[in-house]
Amino acid sequence: MNTIAENIADFLKEYPPFDNLTFQELSAIATNIRVLNLDKNETLFQINDKLHDCFYVVASGTINLSVIADAEETLLNKCHTGDVLGLRPFFAKNNYMMTAKSREDSIVYGIPITTFRPFVANNPDVLNFLLESFATNTWNPKEKESLRGKLANDNVFNLDQKSEMQYFQSLNYNRSPLTASINDTAKDVAVLMTENATTSVTICQDQLPIGIITHSDMCSKIATGQFPLTVTMKAIMSSPVVTVVENISLAEAQLLMLKNNVTHLCVTLDGTDKSVIKGVISEHDLIIAQANNPGVLIKEIKRASSPKDLKHIRERLTELIQNSIHKNIPLSNINNIASEINSAILKRAVELSILELGSPLARFVWLSIGSQGRKEQLLLTDQDSILIFEDVLPDKYRDVRDYFLKLGKRTTATLEKVGYELCPNGHMASNILWCKSLTDWTKQYDSWMNTPGENSNDLSSIFFDLELVFGEKKIFEAIENVISKNQEHNSLFFDFLGNDALRKNSPLTFFKKFALEEEEPYKGKFDIKTRALMPLIDGARLFALHFNIKGLNNTYSRFKQLAIIDSKHSDIYLNCAEAFLTLSKFRVNEGLKNENSGQYISMNELSKLDKEKLKNALAPMKDLEELIKSNFKLTQFS
């Protein structure tokens, strides 16, 4: 073995995943490695380049990884000595989705995929490291928690979120697979494949899959003359087949194809080759599925030119949510993905209005409030929004306000066509009450917070769940500062909000039975929004304002943060966080089943176990209520 290869093997054995391999294995890999000397600012690969036949390890220097989002290049991370990058050729067929460029003179080792693949297939630790590195967009998965926070702060919808989605993104595949027997000839099967325009036929015996023949088998074994057209499937099929369950995810399918070095998977009733075949997943299906991931949906949203386009994308999001719930993915994960897509739809609706009306007459922000502001809108519930424009000279005020009212009306009309109903309470930017200047909004918040209860019939606590959708961040920050300033030592305001939180009707009767609706059309149903979710939402908001937690609107995230800040009551907050997820899941399931907001649960359709789960999720509300009373020195009647 030459000295250079020996030095490379010595280097690799210090770093994961190579530390899982023997020195002998590393030496075999090292003899095939390419050593690349990169000058400062030299590009190794860039977005949309065709995939290389190798992946890379940094031997010395630093490689910057960046993506382009909204026409700006954003640094995702820096790879230092021993870091692995460029893993896309292992797991995907499409082009590179980021750019790798040397920050200084650097040396990089290029490891050919074909050389390394056998070591991956035989070593699950190596495979898991590579898969996790690729999926989380980290260079050492053990550091992913600290890194993920950093990536999230970059406000880039990056591979981390997109690849996370692959773990619960379902696949569309051929659910009516062609089958043949072991005695059928190559000619018969070729005719069958041609007539049905398919790339594979499953070979079955007693209806059970025992082998598969693919288009590439036909090319390599028959077209080359290696076997005659009269040969039977028994002689040329690939056997045994790799079988999977019906609801396999995109990432799981990729992993299995990689592990077994195959291009097709057989879907069977119980996931084994001892049960009936239900379908076939091809490599092509995986490529198509990747086009349905959140990153692609967001790209499509940015290109959408009509409400109809946006409606179609929102329908695909609903499917995605449904599949994810079906696969028991944690609701908090689903929420993260869905909220990014929802926000992108809202933003595009504003952009389409501007394209129609012409450039805005002043700087402004469009803010979501309510469930959209909390990023909790998994279902198509109603829209809530406000619009704040910068202060202008008095003689321009009317024209500016009229422009933004038109913008509000067009945008809310677009969102209604997408499927978000108009807010029944009129809490929308199309309403003259909620479309005004920064000074007017400042007066509004001053009034709400310093004299709550006086002429405050219009005060709804959802105005304190604010999320920037579009526009000037400085205007948004100005309003945040007004809220922050007004809440200092403001016991009157917290007294008002605290009593408002306590005023909700109890979810259970005196005899611990569910408090059901008594009036039609919801008679006999349980109002999970008003009686169960709202008290938790109100409580989380109340304490988040009290402890001045900024940048976290989501109820689940607020409770998790409160458990850290107010640690002596952490058990109450954590129980409330879990209860909120459980109750939200009940609501989402109800909404998806009936294609509505899921607010009213049909109790007679719940199993005994589900009723028990629902009742248990209501238990932490009592502790939260007591904590509100003691913390803000309230009685329910104060």
Residue 322 has pLDDT above 90, yes or no: no
**Of the listed ranges 76-90, 461-475, 476-490, the one predicted with least confidence:** 76-90
Closest CA to 334 of 164, 466, 154, 150: 164
141 confidence band (pLDDT: 50, 70, 90): very low
| Mean pLDDT in residue range 100-114 | 92
Burial 552-579 (b: 16+ CB within 10 A, else e): bbbbbbbbbbbbeebeebeebbebbbeb
Residue 94 has pLDDT above 50, yes or no: yes
pLDDT of residue 474: 94
149 confidence band (pLDDT: 50, 70, 90): very low
Q: How much is the pTM?
A: 0.60
Percent of the residues in the chain that have a pLDDT greater than 70, as a whole number: 88
The Cα-based distances of 271 to 152, 241, 247 in angstroms read 37, 11, 10
pLDDT of residue 220: 87
Residue 11 has pLDDT above 90, yes or no: yes
pLDDT of residue 465: 92
| Mean pLDDT in residue range 60-85 | 77
**Of the listed ranges 27-36, 210-219, 335-344, 478-487, the one predicted with least confidence:** 335-344
The Cα-based distances of 221 to 27, 64, 184, 218 in angstroms read 35, 45, 16, 5
pLDDT of residue 259: 72
pLDDT of residue 93: 66
pLDDT of residue 77: 73
Task: List strand residue ranges (DSSP E) for 478-553, in order.
Answer: 525-527
| Mean pLDDT in residue range 404-421 | 95
pLDDT of residue 435: 96
Q: Tell me how far apart the alpha carbons of residues 117 and 150 are, in angstroms, rounded to a whole number.
A: 31
pLDDT of residue 132: 61
pLDDT of residue 157: 30
pLDDT of residue 507: 84
Residue 310 has pLDDT above 70, yes or no: yes
Residue 517 has pLDDT above 70, yes or no: yes
- For residue 277, the surrounding DSSP H or E stretch is strand 277-282
| Chain mean position to CA 524 | 35
| Mean pLDDT in residue range 236-261 | 82
Residue 137 has pLDDT above 90, yes or no: no
pLDDT of residue 571: 92
- For residue 119, the surrounding DSSP H or E stretch is helix 113-121
Number of H helices, E strands in the chain: 26, 20
134 confidence band (pLDDT: 50, 70, 90): low
pLDDT of residue 340: 84
Residue 124 has pLDDT above 80, yes or no: no
pLDDT digits (tens, 9 = 90+) for 348-400: 999 999 999 999 999 999 999 988 889 888 888 889 999 999 999 999 999 99
Q: Cα-flanking dihedrals φ and ψ of residue 107, to 5°?
A: -120, 130
| Mean pLDDT in residue range 189-218 | 90
| Residue 369 near residue 200 (C-beta atoms within 8 A) | no
Q: Tell me how far apart the alpha carbons of residues 364 and 481 are, in angstroms, rounded to a whole number.
A: 17
| Residue 161 near residue 144 (C-beta atoms within 8 A) | no
69 confidence band (pLDDT: 50, 70, 90): low
Higher pLDDT, 261 or 152: 261
Q: Tell me how far apart the alpha carbons of residues 101 and 304 are, in angstroms, rounded to a whole number.
A: 32
pLDDT of residue 186: 93
Higher pLDDT, 459 or 119: 119
Percent of the residues in the chain that have a pLDDT greater than 90, as a whole number: 46
How deeply is 397 buried, as exposed, middle or buried, from its count of CB atoms within 10 A (0-12, 13-18, 19+)?
Answer: middle
Strand-strand pairing, 600-602 and 525-527: antiparallel
**Of the listed ranges 120-134, 188-202, 410-424, 499-513, the one predicted with least confidence:** 120-134
pLDDT of residue 357: 92
The Cα-based distances of 63 to 78, 99, 103, 186, 374 in angstroms read 6, 10, 6, 51, 37
| Mean pLDDT in residue range 607-624 | 92
Residue 456 has pLDDT above 60, yes or no: no
Residue 325 has pLDDT above 90, yes or no: no
| Mean pLDDT in residue range 113-137 | 73
Q: Tell me how far apart the alpha carbons of residues 134 and 333 are, in angstroms, rounded to a whole number.
A: 18
- For residue 492, the surrounding DSSP H or E stretch is helix 491-502
| Mean pLDDT in residue range 83-110 | 85
143 confidence band (pLDDT: 50, 70, 90): very low
Residue 575 has pLDDT above 60, yes or no: yes
pLDDT of residue 635: 62
Region class of 598: left (phi > 0), else alpha (psi between -120 and 50), else beta = left
pLDDT of residue 3: 79
Higher pLDDT, 448 or 147: 448
